[in-house]
Amino acid sequence: MQIFNLDLQIYSMKIPVNRIFYINLDRSVFRKRELTYHFKRINLTDQDGREPIRFPALNGNDISHSILPKNKTFHPGRPVSISEIGCHASHREILKMQIENKWPYVMYLEDDVRFVEKNMKILLDNWNKLPEFDFFNLSWNYYGVPKDQVLEPVDFPLKGLVRGNGMWLTHCYILSLNGAIKCEEDTRVQSHSVDWHYAQIQSTINTIGYRRGLLSVQENKASGMKSIIVHT
């Protein structure tokens, strides 16, 4: 069954990046089908007209980075989970591809993301007014200590843009090559979820983001909560 009516396509969404990747587990066939229909409806491509590239999510037991011992991880009362390890590893593999190919900008997506077309159009129509960035998080939240997050508003036609740090979540973000190099270097040893690591790294590079307005995230039907990728 086709989830989206492609006849409703209203906007060609060309992102000014060199590649777009989305992470999807092999067994998540339905999520892939829903997402690819969404991509086709909005005609999502990179700057050269290439469609988003699927990256098969890694199993948390098959990784190339290191994990700190259980007593050194930062989760209160528990070690980093296998799912978090797989998520971390999947994002790292795309980081390494960006670095190896020297792509100036890459968009990273998870398979539960949906774009809000009207706001994305405003963003893309005014792209040249964005400040220089190494990390652009298009949908973040914050789960740390409030005093540890420093944000300042950025004047931009689409309200809500901020500059700062502590932007958790990895549903959709864009990295410059410099940002990818820094993120790869600082995630070789995992002590927490990948978005926690990114939230710390953001203090050392040019980071901007929107907390809401550009994306919606599909809900997990069973729990009623916003979904996350399962990597195990």
Span 35-76, pLDDT tens digits: 999 999 999 999 999 999 999 998 766 666 666 555 444 555
Best mean pLDDT range from 57-71, 126-140, 209-223: 126-140
**Helix H or strand E encompassing 84:** helix 82-101
CA 37, CA 76: separation in Å to the nearest integer?
A: 39
Closest CA to 89 of 109, 59, 54, 52: 59
Q: Do 149 and 191 touch, CB atoms closer than 8 A? A: no
Q: Do 174 and 107 touch, CB atoms closer than 8 A? A: yes
Q: What does the pLDDT read at residue 210?
A: 97
What's domain 6-217's architecture?
A: Alpha-Beta Complex (3.90)
Type of residue found at 24: N
Q: What is the pTM of this model?
A: 0.86
Q: What does the pLDDT read at residue 10?
A: 54
Q: Do 50 and 39 touch, CB atoms closer than 8 A? A: no
Query: Tens of pLDDT along 73-132?
Result: 455 556 788 888 889 999 999 999 999 999 999 999 999 999 999 999 999 999 999 999
Q: What does the pLDDT read at residue 12?
A: 82
